[in-house]
Amino acid sequence: MPERLTSQRRYYMFQCAVGWVVFLGSEKGLTRLSLKPTPEEAMEEAMKDAGQVLDEATMDASWFQPMQRCVESYLEGDQRALDEIVLDLDGTPPFFRAAWAACRGIPSGETRSYAWLAAEAGSPLAVRAAGQAMARNRWPLIIPCHRVIGSDGGLGGYGAGGLRVKAKLLQLEQSFVTAGDLRG
């Protein structure tokens, strides 16, 4: 049975440099970050899990302000800013947790293959499962699934805004890494 949002659930929506973001959160942390080109698409994506109903959640901009600042700081070049956001991983299968942890370890501006991700998650033959873990990632940007590509170098898919957003994020991160190399 789908879990319904309770009065302890919160949401907030804002526009950033790569689209619209909707945050959903619980007392344990962020339960979802939706990133889409339009506010309607972002809200629809945020609400698709478990048949959640928006009017049962509280719009709470102040609760999400620190998270919004983290996202904005990341998009301005602070590649460690998203590390501060606490995720509510309740109900997550162990392999997904392992794949998501490995994904969070991919350095900004770099990419890894689904095969690499499967191996890092402890199951080298589970390449398709690694792909599913990325496809079901509820926290794009924070768990940077845009850094996971096909073994042939192709971008693969990207549910959070499409391949154009994936390419833009990779290009943005690479520009920050290059700028950092020039400064260092």
The residues carrying an active-site annotation are 145
Q: Which ranges in 15-156 belong to alpha helices (H)?
A: 39-47, 61-75, 94-104, 114-120, 127-135
CB 58 within 8 A of CB 43: no
* Pairwise CA distance, residues 180 & 176, whole Å: 6
The residue type found at 156 is: G
Three-state DSSP at 73 gives helix
